[in-house]
Structure 1
Amino acid sequence: MVKIIGLTGGIASGKSTVVAELRRLGYQVIDADQVVHELQAKGGKLYEALVGWLGTEILDADSNLDRSLLSQLIFSSPENLKKSSQLQDQIIRQELAERRDKMAEQLPVFFMDIPLLIEADYVDWFDQIWLVTVDPEVQKERLMKRNGYSAEEADKRLASQMPLSEKKAMADVIIDNNGSLGQTMLQVHEVLINLN
């Protein structure tokens, strides 16, 4: 029986660190952000859909998506935001489902790293959901340090996301990343032992 595990967290929660450790231990991880990046690359399904909708003015001199212009257009009106969300979600969901099904034919256990797993309603895809969590003040501090944000910018980013405290109710496994790297890795290893 195949076990598919969904991995999620919040900005600066340490999810990437957990993913790196899973990969180091030999587990396969489908990275949703990477998939989106591939779909938005020249000739990708999202690239074609976005150009089809907004026209070639969203491209830069090298015919790649101009991300800052695209972002401005999408966030310029509630209608554009809604349309963009529907268009992109459908293509991303389809691609992730294809990759998930293909991997399920080959592996007994694998992970899918989806930042908006709960918000975008992927919950029923998984046998288990792992949540990497940190306290809000630690999250803010790490975000400011990592991205060079001011306190105000960090607060804005964090406010735009579902709080980690609310996500806990949906998680089967909670990895507390408030402590040292070693403490976090120990939790990951313990959960993996119980997985088999």
Structure 2
Amino acid sequence: MRKKLGATLVGLSLIGLPVLATSSAQGHGYTDSPISRQKVCANGGMTNCGEIIWEPQSVEGPKGFPSGGPADGRICAGGNSRFAQLDDPRGGTWPATRVSGGQSYTFNWRLTAAHATTDFKYYITKDGYDPTQPLTRSALETTPFLTVPFNGKIPPYTVTHSGTIPSGKHGKHLILGVWTIADTGNAFYACSDVQF
């Protein structure tokens, strides 16, 4: 009886593995070039990050940015209170990727699960941006400096986009990457601190 019960439990646990492994297989991803706040946290580059250290790919919120989407001050976390640490400017001390205005740059997303995609858009903060304040729409240039249409196609698990870093910027800025999903009401958000 004990052998049968043990074999049954092992069999059930093996059957359950694929279900557990795929239950979170929705569209998920983050930018690692320039490195996003969620990836900085997952890499241990910042402390007191909360749950995002285990789920850098899960910064998902309502799509429609900038007219819709997460509320001001909650953009870097995608409006998701579980990841509110990403919205904390931490006095402007987030590690920043060095960039130069006008340089060609390869933006990189890592996807843990792909999804039918509308587009990827990249926004940058305006001149006079204060890195000690939470991100708001008024702090961003209103037009994305790079838009990559996907027209409902499913991207690969590593997505790269070539673009040009906007000229005329100085000091610390923030680049917001928005991956808009075609067949859900959501998008993924990634805030990357950069230093000109």
Question: Which one has the largest radius of gyration?
Answer: 2
* Higher strand fraction (1 or 2): 2
Same fold (TM over 0.5): no
TM-score normalised by length of structure 1: 0.29
